[in-house]
């Protein structure tokens, strides 16, 4: 007897309004009946950086609950899955309990999303733990990135908001885009810092398309390998570090990511009067339908 069931499915492009220019995300609806092994198998099959499973919340303040999987494991939090799954849920007809506000339950707890004044939805960056990279690792980092353009005036730091990144400032956007990292050497540095990847960033000039350019190079573990097109958690980490180091340019600013991959992700960052940091951007639905699962 065939016991396969049909499950609603969407593929979202996050941090873009133009299909194929952002970071793709698989969203599986009504996933309460799936166990961990089934979720992991589906995530391996979609073969995307992350696959999100939407579930009923078990916290009274949450609108919904998510479990987030890479092809290799489960993450307690990730940025583009948070923004993209909230968009998919709203676009499917879900009405938030409070207009203009949603609360996501995930591995790090509750994450608030809100509709900002510019019409973007954004999530509140989770609290981050910031740990400076010991100076004895600076030479190894320079070697791993193959660049002498690291701005050590803003010390590289491991920033962990549920997805740990080593955040490194370069002198210019051109320096950031020119990096050709040694993967093995980079893995040694990031793992020594307790992270699974490096987020390199740099300011654009006054005529630049955004305030900052960013690239995220993943070095194994649950993050996988390679370069990520657009990374919400890393942009949240950047915003927390800029605030801690006194280097944020203004209360609102923007980041471009994915340029080297011929993407054009755009991330909007804002700091409110209550000290919270909001990470937002557009999303667009690219694939909508269902799949069969035993």
CATH number for the domain spanning 35: value is 3.10.310.10
| Sequence-separated (6 or more) residues with CB below 8 Å from residue 60 | none
pLDDT in tens, 32-78: 999 999 999 999 999 999 999 999 999 999 999 999 999 989 999 98
Q: Answer yes or no: is 283 within a domain.
A: yes
Say if residue 136 is in the same domain as residue 105: no
The DSSP-derived string for 183-201 is: HHHHHHHHHHTT-SEEEEE
Active site residues: 50
Say if residue 141 is in the same domain as residue 266: yes
Domain carrying residue 140: 127-274
pLDDT at 120: 87
pLDDT in tens, 136-154: 999 999 999 999 999 999 9
Q: Is 148 helix (H, G, I), strand (E, B) or coil?
A: coil
Q: Dihedral of CA 216/218/221/223: which sign?
A: positive
In angstroms, the CA 67 to CA 73 distance is 11
H/E stretch holding 14 reads strand 5-14
Q: Answer yes or no: is 28 within a domain.
A: yes
Domain count, the chain: 2
Q: Exposed, middle or buried by CB within 10 Å (0-12, 13-18, 19+), for 193?
A: buried
In angstroms, the CA 126 to CA 231 distance is 14
In angstroms, the CA 264 to CA 116 distance is 21
Say if residue 101 is in the same domain as residue 81: yes
In angstroms, the CA 258 to CA 270 distance is 21
- From first to last of its 294 residues, the chain has per-residue pLDDT tens of 456 789 999 999 999 999 999 999 999 999 999 999 999 999 999 999 999 999 999 999 999 999 999 998 999 998 999 999 999 999 999 999 999 999 999 999 999 999 988 778 999 998 899 999 999 999 999 999 999 999 999 999 999 998 899 999 999 999 999 999 999 999 999 999 999 899 999 999 888 999 999 999 998 766 667 999 999 999 999 999 999 999 999 999 999 999 999 999 999 999 999 999 999 999 999 999 999 887
Say if residue 157 is in the same domain as residue 250: yes
Contact 262, 23 (CB under 8 A): no
Q: Which ranges in 97-182 belong to alpha helices (H)?
A: 138-145, 173-178
Q: Answer yes or no: is 1 within a domain.
A: no
Q: Which residues of 138-155 are buried (b: 16+ CB within 10 A; e: fewer)?
A: eeebbebbebebbbeebb
Q: Answer yes or no: is 88 within a domain.
A: yes
Place of tokens 């961990």: 36
Question: For residue 286, which of 78, 91, 79 has the smallest C-alpha distance?
Answer: 91
Q: Answer yes or no: is 99 within a domain.
A: yes
- For 59, the token pair is 């916290």
pLDDT at 1: 44
């Amino acid at each position: 007897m065939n016991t396969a069931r049909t499950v609603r499915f969407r593929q979202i492009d996050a941090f873009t309004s133009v299909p194929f220019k952002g970071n793709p995300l698989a969203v599986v609806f009504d996933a309460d009946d799936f166990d961990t092994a089934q979720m992991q198998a589906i995530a391996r099959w979609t073969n995307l950086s992350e696959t999100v499973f939407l579930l009923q919340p078990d916290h009274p303040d949450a609108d919904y609950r998510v479990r987030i999987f890479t092809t290799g494991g489960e993450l307690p939090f990730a940025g583009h899955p948070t923004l993209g799954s909230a968009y998919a849920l709203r676009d499917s007809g879900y009405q938030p309990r409070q207009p203009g506000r949603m609360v996501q339950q995930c591995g790090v707890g509750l994450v608030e999303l809100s509709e900002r004044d510019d019409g973007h939805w954004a999530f509140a960056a989770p609290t981050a733990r910031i740990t400076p990279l010991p100076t004895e690792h600076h030479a190894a980092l320079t070697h791993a990135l193959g660049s002498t353009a690291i701005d050590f005036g803003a010390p590289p730091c491991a920033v962990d908001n549920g997805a740990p990144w080593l955040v490194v400032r370069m002198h210019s956007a051109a320096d950031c885009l020119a990096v050709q990292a040694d993967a093995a050497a980079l893995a040694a540095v990031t793992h020594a810092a307790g992270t699974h990847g490096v987020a390199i960033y740099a300011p654009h000039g006054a005529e630049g398309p955004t305030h900052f350019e960013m690239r995220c190079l993943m070095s194994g573990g649950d993050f996988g390998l390679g370069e990520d097109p657009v990374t919400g958690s890393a942009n949240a980490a950047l915003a927390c570090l800029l605030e801690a180091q006194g280097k944020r340019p203004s209360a609102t600013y923007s980041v471009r990511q994915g340029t080297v991959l011929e993407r054009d992700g755009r991330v909007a960052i804002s700091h409110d009067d209550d000290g919270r940091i909001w990470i937002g951007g557009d999303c667009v639905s690219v694939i909508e339908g269902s799949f069969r699962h035993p």
